[in-house]
Each structure stands twice: as C-alpha cells, then as structure tokens.
Structure 1
C-alpha cells in the first residue's frame, strides 16, 4: 500500500525498546498517530512514547475505510471549531510539519456537503444548526427547493423542504497522506511503534492509577500515562481497566460506482433524508454509503458485505434522488466500522475522573478522521500540561458519561 509516494512502515518490531515509557498509546491508526506526532512537535514535552498497534497495515482500522471528508455542518459549536482547525491543518500541512519538503501540499476538494430535509422537523434542525455554524463563521447557506434545483439541476427535489450547504472547506481531503506523514515523522523523531497488542492494563493497589500494560508477547511495560486510541475496540480496551465505555463497532457500507452519464459538475456530499449519502469521487465515479435499518453492534472482525443492501435500498435511493444515476456500475465496495458512541454520538476524551493517568480518545461516531488534527493536538496538550492550551475539550470528557449528562451531536451521518 502506497500513500502519495510514502510507503507505510509495516515492519514494526514486536518488542519495545524500553521497559518503561512516559506515554503509552494503545492504537496506532490516525488518532493514535496524531497524538504521537503532536507530542513530538511540542517543545515542552520531552518524554518517551510507545505506540502499540495490533495491525500495522491498518487494513481493518476505521482509518482505512473512511470517506476521508471534512465538514463544518455540526450542531455543536465545539465540533464546528474542531473542523475549522482541521481544515487549516490540511490546507497548510507542510507548514505544520515543519516545512518538510517531502510532505506534499494538500488542499480540500470543497464540493461541499448538502443536507436535504423532507420534514418540517428536520428543516427546523437545519435552521438551528445554521445559527451555531454562523456563530463560528462557517459559510453555510440554506436553500429552498427551487434554489437547489437552480444550482444542481440533476436533483429530484419534489419531496424536499429545505437544504443546507457549505462549499468552503467542506469536502474530500487526503487523509491517508496525513496519516502516513504523522506516523513517519513520529517514528523519525523517536516514537517507538511496535506490532503487538495490549492484553492487560494493570492498576495500582488503590486503583487510581495505571501502572503498566501487559503485551501479548508477555512483556510488562510501565507507563506514566496511558491513552486509549483503539477505535472500535475502545470499550474492550477500557474494560481491561474496569471502565465501562458506551462505544460499539457499527458497520458502515461504501460503494464506488461509475455513471453511464456522469454529471457535468461536482456532486456535493449529499445526505438524503433516508441517511444514504453520495458524493463526487472524480473521473465520472461517485462514492456512496449507508447502513441497514437494523444497526446492531458487530464483531470487531465482521467486514462482510451485505450485497442485498445495495440492490434493495442504496442504489434505488440514489437513483430516485439523482435520476441520472439510474444506469451505474459498481467498481468497488467495502464494509468498515464506526466507533459509535451510543450515549450521545460525540467523542469521549480526556482523563478518567478516578484513574487520572488513563486518557480517552474514543467514540468519534464517524467523525474521527476529520477531527484527528484537533483531537491529537488536544490530547498532547493534556498529556504535557494537564490542561488545554487551544480548544477546550472538557465538554467531551468522560465525566459526562458517569453523570448521565449527554452532550448530544445531532448531525451524524
């Protein structure tokens, strides 16, 4: 697998270089690698870092199955701010990475997101979300059906009441390249990545601190702080420390298809009221996704495709919304997992209130890739200072789960 000329390092050693680290990160996909990289960038952090990744190829991680898009159309101000920083990072990635000329210049392909509402209640939600987004300076617009049809004549909008779109820093970005360079620079700067798995988390006698982790190969590694960045396996990792976390693997299906009659303009990432979404992919191809009406938690290794879902639901929905897509050919398909926070669909971050050196970076509910620049930076700040220096992520802390006080995100795809 090659990522924009960068060949990811998959030959990690099995054994750590040391028996003790200041920070141990469980999970080396995009979120864990973001934290590791931001720690190396912070001049106030001079500690040692170990990243434990059970699958260095990342082939089954959510990072490998993502749509790789970014949006500001969220219902909470903090999520909007997180995406705005993410956009700044993407558009200036070489500068953020120290001017390293090996790092390619990237830009967001801003075809935008278009939410379509077919009920008064959903239209009211879009209007409420717009106010939040405008407070943050987002360029979101509301469009009535005639305005949608004028801008995008290919849509069928007979059942639509309102649309919401933003074409400034909303669309596709090359998440694979950012991940590859976070990981590569982190390794070059001394972060120790290993091909292994944490099978036990060992607490102090009083249970208020993590003292060490046990690896599948038997080594016991002492740690000053431990970060749970294990994606859909977050609850399994947390359970090793006696913590109950409301994060489940939820299956999400994707298809790339070629249209017999391609559209003559970019297709925004269109979120149909049914939940099916479809977007521009380039070269006359398009990517769409969705899930079945029955959406249970699945096994971590369940990536089986539901072929009937395409024929019975996804394609008919896409063709009804965009009649020009009545003649298409599927050219690739896959299933991946959301790390779904079933409590309130928002990230769970920060330290555990009773196990102070156990930090979470979990439950992104499909938003992880786009939020990874800001979330990695925030976690690195907390690990270094015990506080946040940029965006205050306290609303995402684990305390709210224990208190039963959700911080709800309504804009979940």
Structure 2
C-alpha cells in the first residue's frame, strides 16, 4: 500500500487548486491528486459557462470570488509570462421585476459593502445604457462595471495542472471505489484498478460525485448532480459590449466571440438528481422557454440561428445551494470542498488557498470559510445563497 499525507479526490479546478496552494503554503508532505476523467471531457469545470461575478447575497461568497479576481489580475506573476485565460471583463447585468426588487437591493448593499463595483439602476437608466434591452416588467438591474465577466475555464485549469507537474504532486488517473474509515478517521482509499492508498488527510473535491464519495466514508452530504444545458446561437445583430445578462426568469445570455451562449431556467425543485451519464442538451427547454424569453428581453433575438449545444452537471447542494468547506466535525481528517451549486469554478482558487492554510497552519488566514462548515449540514441549518444562477 502506498501512503500519502494528503489524498485529494477530484483533480479538476477545485482539487487542483487545493494541491497547488498546499505547495504554495509550504506543505512538504506527499500529495496524491486523483482524477477519474483525466481529459476532463465531462468535468463540471470545462463544461461550465466559465464566468466570475461578485453579485452574491452573502459577503463570504463575494470574498471568495474577489480572491480569484485578484489572482486573474496577477496571472503572469503567479504562473509565468504568457499565462492567459482570455478574461473578458464585461460585467454581469442581473435584472429584477417588482417581486425581486427587495432581494436585488439587499444583495446590492452586501456587494457594495464588500467594495464591489456594482451599479443599481432603474429601467430608464438601463435603457439608456443598453439600447438593445427591453425593460418591460423590469423594476431595476444590477450592473457590474468591473470585476465580473467570463474566461477560458480549460486554460485556467491547465495553468494549475501544468504547475502541479513541477510541484512533486502525484497525478493519478483512476476512480475511487471505496473509502476506508476507522472510527473518527478515514485511513485511505481503494481505486478501480485495485490499488490502495493510505491517507493522512482526505479532501473531497469530487464535484457532482461528492455526495457519493462522502457516503463511502459513512458521511451524509446533500450534494448531487444537476444537469445544465448551454446553447450557442447566431444573431444578425452583434452587441459586442453586452454583459452577461440574467433575466428574472433565470435565463442568461452573453456574447461568445461572434456568437452568443445562453441557458438557465431549469426547475431544480422538480428535477431531482441528474443521471450522471446524461450529457444530452435539453433542446425542449431552449425551444419552449429560453428562446421566447430572449426574444422578449432583447427584441433583436427574435430571429436567431441555433448552433451547437452541450450539457454539464452542477454539484448541487440541496440544503442551501452553498458550498460545504472544511473538516467534518467528528471525522477531522475528512475535508470538504463541495456543493458550490454553479459557482465552484470562480471560487476554487480561494477555497484551495483556504483549505491549504487549514492543513498547513491549522486555521484559515486569508478567507475565513468557517461559515461554510459541515456543522450546518449536520444540523439541517440552511445558509442560503439567494443569487444562484
């Protein structure tokens, strides 16, 4: 049996960030990073909409994304000359009707309280700023003038993975089929090729599979896969400076080169967990919900040409759509980095840094993630993020 000081299950952006920042914090012990999909064909990281925002309702979520934004701004200092993730800092525009206005105002107060550059504008101001926008049924919109946008998720992941190859981290292509536990400690894992790895600390960074990984250790975790479809389309009009727009219905749209991408409006309350092997886009959702919504909100999109589409899975936290971060209160060497419910890509570097500090120093230093701890899961106490897209 091979032994490691830290075993990380899940080698996409969350797990890779944990391994990277462990080394950056001076951790000298052995690290194994296990990934069952080494080409990341079905990874939530690479199938995401790849965006970053500060428009959350909870200050701690805003801080996590601000850490990643700061990383984006010093990317070449961190990863070397030429490092680029094609960050398009064009903002988010989140719209609200009359019912959603109090929440939008409350969220805006939290965001500006954390120093985010977010404007709250009325319909007349929005129409003046975005002439292509129909403000019918809109009471206000929150627009991020800076610090928000989208980027190349695969490029970001590859920066971390390339760095790890120089950091004495064992990158293992395998699936974990069991987690061994003795009383209040996990002791190791068994891989699908029969290998057994002993673990001093085990980090669950398994994305949509995180609930299953926790269950292997006898730990309940309310995280399950939920499918999200993303659609590409062409339009006669090209609004190059369009932000990522989120309609009150949940439908979003943003430019993608000369094209646009769109999605949203899935009914998670009714869907239940997704089939983890189902990566077929939901074209009925596009035809029946998304396209009519786009045409209503942006009249120029009444006539569009649909293109390709893809589907991926969120690691959806059914308790409160918020991350679970940190150690289990009774199984202290089992660490969570799970349940981000769609905002894991943008928060992964911050969470990697936080968990690395916890392992190396015994406490959070940069960002206090204790509010995301497992204790609330054990108590059934929701810590709800209101701005889930």
TM-score bucket (shorter structure): over 0.9
Kept after mapping to 1: 8 A contact 2:116/2:147? no
Contact 2:119/2:145 (8 A) holds in 1: no
Tell me, yes or no, if structure 1 residue 228 matches structure 2 residue 204: yes
TM-score (norm. length: structure 2): 0.97
Paired position in structure 1 for 2:100: 122
1:389 matched to which residue of 2?
A: 365
The answer for unaligned runs of 5 or more in structure 2 is: none
Q: What is the aligned-residue RMSD (CA, Å)?
A: 1.3
Aligned to 1:53: 35
2:66 pairs with 1:84? yes
Q: In the alignment, does 2:110 pair up with 1:109?
A: no
Q: Point out where structure 1 has 5 or more consecutive residues left out of the alignment.
A: 1-17
How far 1:107 sits from its partner (Å)?
6.2
Query: What pairs up with 1:288-327 in 2 under 5 angstroms?
Result: 288-293=262-267, 294-327=270-303
Match runs of 1:228-247 below 5 Å: 228-247=204-223
Q: C-alpha distance in 2, partners of 1:141/1:107?
A: 25
The alpha-carbon distance between structure 1 residues 245 and 267, as it changes in their structure 2 partners (threshold 3 A), is: same
Q: Distance in 2 between matches of 1:228 and 1:387?
A: 18
Q: State the distance in 2 between where 1:125 and 1:375 align.
A: 26
Give the structure 1 partner of residue 76 of structure 2: 94
Q: Deviations over 1:325-352 (max 9, x none)?
A: 1121122201111111111111001000
The whole-number CA distance in structure 1 between the counterparts of 2:368 and 2:147 is 22
Runs of 4+ in 1 over 3 A off after TM superposition: 105-108, 291-294
2:147 is the counterpart of 1:169:
yes
Q: TM-score, normalised by structure 1?
A: 0.91
Counterpart-to-counterpart distance in 2, 1:217 and 1:172: 38
Q: Deviations over 1:268-299 (max 9, x none)?
A: 1111111100012122x111111433432111
CA distance in 2 between counterparts of 1:300 and 1:107 reads: 30
Which of 40, 57, 73 matches 2:23? 40
Q: Helix, strand or coil: the match of 1:65?
A: coil
Q: 1:37, 1:144 → 2: CA distance? A: 43
Asked if the contact 2:236/2:304 (under 8 Å) is kept, the reply is yes
- Measured after TM superposition, the shift of residue 371 of structure 1 is 0.4
Per-residue CA deviations over 1:190-248 (Å, capped at 9, x if unaligned) read 110111111111112xx100111111111221111000000000000000000110111
